[in-house]
Structure 1
Amino acid sequence: MRVPIVIRSGLLLGGFSLITLTGCSSSSEDCSVPVREELDPSHLLHITDASIAVYKSDPPTSGAHLATSAPAGLVRAALLPAIQVTILERGDVLVQYRDPADLPALEGVVSNRVVVAPQPSLTARAVVTAWTYKLTCKAIDIEAITSFADAHAGKVQEH
């Protein structure tokens, strides 16, 4: 099971930095350890034009989002970043993949809290995001993706 490693605190002891980590990693090297990203300062903004928002990361894990609903389930077209954040803001997990050939493997992770959508601009094979969390995969690892979704679906922190 893959759980995010999160830096909880840093403590300087005699010139050495002690970092407390929580979680564990999987033996699979297909996906990175989940990373917690800094909350985007614009996370409280509701916007009406998805094309105007600017984000701190790509794909984003927080920030300005639409004041309307966003798609759920299996999505057949790439999503604008503002729509991606709207999905995350409601507590859902977004699985984006680069290669259309990966869709059959990913269809099984779709649920009422997990959205799957193509994103041809990804540099990685797949990127899974939740509110302030990101998992980057160089190969499709259903176990890692499912573990990430289980850990983050339904949770919106610091919002």
Structure 2
Amino acid sequence: MATHPTPSRSRWPLVAVLLIVGTFVAYVTHVKKGSESPSVPAPSPAVTPSSAPAPAAGSAPSPAVSGPGTFYPSQGHAHWEEPKLKTFVYNSNPPTSGPHEEVFADGYINQKPLSRAIQAHLLEHGSVLIQYNCTCPSLVKKLTDISRSFDTYNPQMAMEMGKAVIIAPNPSIPKNKIALTAWTRLLMLDHYDETAINGFITAWLGNDKNSRQ
């Protein structure tokens, strides 16, 4: 008896399914890639004064030690002869640092102005100067009393030790002003202020950290 081959199942349904699945996968992949936006780095935060980099050295110096008076950057401790000193420009008036002669004042209370070079030398050792520009005997008496309350050594010894409070007239400062100076510090007063004067002297007299910078 003759055997007839069993008809094979058609492969088209399987092929159709594979085509449909492949098309779907390709479509999903395309849609996913299209929806992804390129990576963009987050913008840097704006620089604020608090986060800005520190200024370059010398551009905006800050005081090494806080305290009363205006800070002026040190102009050094060089020892020069008088002819050379005449052309030097100090960064404050009266001077608060800089080249100077190795000469002291004659005493605590001076009737004549002190040269800028002598002033700088006195401050370098740690002393404090009080200078005035007026014809004012009563003021000079008050300043003298303050000086004497701090000056307990022989004048020359006190100046060498940086423990002298020195009084002198100074016609180069503004009229009717009182100028207190220490190394790198200047306090200008419009009138006699005992509290401010005593505070300045107490802060800077003999202050080695200040006078050696």
Q: Please indicate, yes or no, whether the TM-score normalized by the shorter chain is above 0.5.
A: yes
Equivalent residues, number: 136
Aligned-residue CA RMSD (Å): 2.6
Report sequence identity in percent: 29
Once residues 17 and 60 of structure 1 are traced to their aligned partners in structure 2, the CA distance between those partners, rounded to angstroms, is 33
Per-residue CA deviations over 1:81-116 (Å, capped at 9, x if unaligned) read 111111101110000011131212211121432001
Shift of 1:122: 1.3
* Consecutive aligned runs of 4 or more in structure 1 exceeding 4 Å deviation: 20-24
Structure richer in strand, relative to its length: 1
Once residues 52 and 16 of structure 1 are traced to their aligned partners in structure 2, the CA distance between those partners, rounded to angstroms, is 39
With 120-129 and 146-155 compared, the bigger mean Cα shift is at 120-129
Once residues 71 and 88 of structure 1 are traced to their aligned partners in structure 2, the CA distance between those partners, rounded to angstroms, is 15
- Secondary structure of 2:106 counterpart: coil
Normalised by the size of structure 2, how large is the TM-score?
A: 0.57
More contact order relative to length (CA 8 Å, sep ≥ 6): 1
Q: Which of 176, 182, 193 pairs up with 1:130?
A: 182
* Alignment correspondent of 1:114: 165
- Secondary structure of 1:89 counterpart: helix
Structure richer in helix, relative to its length: 2
Q: Which of 103, 115, 137 pairs up with 1:68?
A: 103
Gaps of 5+ in 2: 1-45, 52-61, 152-163
Once residues 45 and 39 of structure 1 are traced to their aligned partners in structure 2, the CA distance between those partners, rounded to angstroms, is 11
* Alignment correspondent of 1:140: 192
- Look at both structures and tell me which one has the larger radius of gyration over its CA atoms: 2
Contact 1:53 1:82 in 2 (8 A): no
Per-residue CA deviations over 1:94-148 (Å, capped at 9, x if unaligned) read 0001113121221112143200111122116101000011111011112111110
Contact 2:100 2:117 in 1 (8 A): yes
* Alignment correspondent of 1:15: 48
- Secondary structure of 1:127 counterpart: strand
* Alignment correspondent of 1:103: 140
* Alignment correspondent of 1:29: none
With 58-67 and 116-125 compared, the bigger mean Cα shift is at 116-125
Contact 2:105 2:114 in 1 (8 A): no
Contact 2:131 2:179 in 1 (8 A): yes
Once residues 153 and 103 of structure 1 are traced to their aligned partners in structure 2, the CA distance between those partners, rounded to angstroms, is 20
